[in-house]
Structure 1
Amino acid sequence: MKRIAIFCGSKNGASEVYVNGAIALGKELANRNITLVYGGAKVGLMGAIADSVIQAGGNVIGVMPTFLVEKEIAHPHLSELIIVETMHERKAKMAELADGFIALPGGPGTLEEFFEIFTLAQLGKHHKPCGLFNMNHYYDPLIHFFSHMEKEQFLHEQYRGLAIIEEDPSKLLNRFEQYESHLLSKQTN
């Protein structure tokens, strides 16, 4: 695993635990020589994880649409900043660059990014790990909703297993490194 795309909030959240979790994940990425691919901002959890990777000597690639660069929120110290025109192009470029995807706490944009990549995994368009960093139990309501979708037969059990969920950044990355898509193995059998 060489590059992991992180989807997360441009806000810090209501508790310091969110920033601290982003920092811990950033250090873990740098210690494992995994390049961070993210939205390119210097604010919120996005800025916290980028700063953490940079301070630990790691590489950071930001992908940002022009209209956000113009609002002066682009991080000034990235290894590389790729400027695209639209949010759709941003997601496509991040997906192209990454070997896996992790969603930290965030708002609707974070969820939209995660669910697009999760859906593409279900459809067999990629076989890369998708994870939720469930710090401070942020994603517990979503995990409960996954159970509801499965119970109501809108989410098949084999697809639910595509989401790797952990509360500890080291355990999450360990599972990413061991990941083998069970959908890929079923397609080759």
Structure 2
Amino acid sequence: MTYPDRFYPVIDSLAWLRRLTALGVGTVQLRVKDLTLEQATALMREALTVTRGTPTRLVVNDWWQAAIDAGAEHVHLGQEDLADADVPAIRRAGLTLGVSTHDDDELDAALDYVPDYIALGPIYETTLKVMRFGPQGLERIRTWKDRMGAIPLIAIGGITLERAPAVYASGADSIAVVSDVTGNPDPDQRVRDWLSLAAKTA
């Protein structure tokens, strides 16, 4: 199984993690803010009990020390978190490293760490959070994929199931999705449709 999977949901609770694990999603990122390190470590330990023995791989967002302490295998860092993180410690612990990027300078910084994947976004307008970067568009995916070579490119930001075929066709190895799943009136069916599309485009 490739990592990360072609379909890569990002969620904010154990309830969502349980739901996606039960649906057979291969890679799920747990992104939770405003915790202490102790709280984050406890949460990640509980999250790992949810995914243990299943095909689902848990990616810890930002809380790299909690990921190490809890025994996680995958971590994802934003640019600010990357600057403060002990990347050698992450590597010594055997964790994979994914990095968020939004412009050429951030891509250069990310490539210096030789990450296991690089996320590019937002591809489209997103209402999930206030972004200081405008939409990147499909052409940026093609350009960045050429620069990244074999490193997987994860597209994120405003991507719906309907937009996904064009995103994959532009060179994205994976698509990270938040509101298209969590904000959908039938999220379970939406996940099944995403999994089907991801399999067809692999």
Q: TM-score interval w.r.t. the shorter chain?
A: 0.3 to 0.5
- Structure 1 length-normalised TM: 0.38
Which structure: greater helix fraction? 1
TM-score if structure 2 supplies the norm length? 0.37
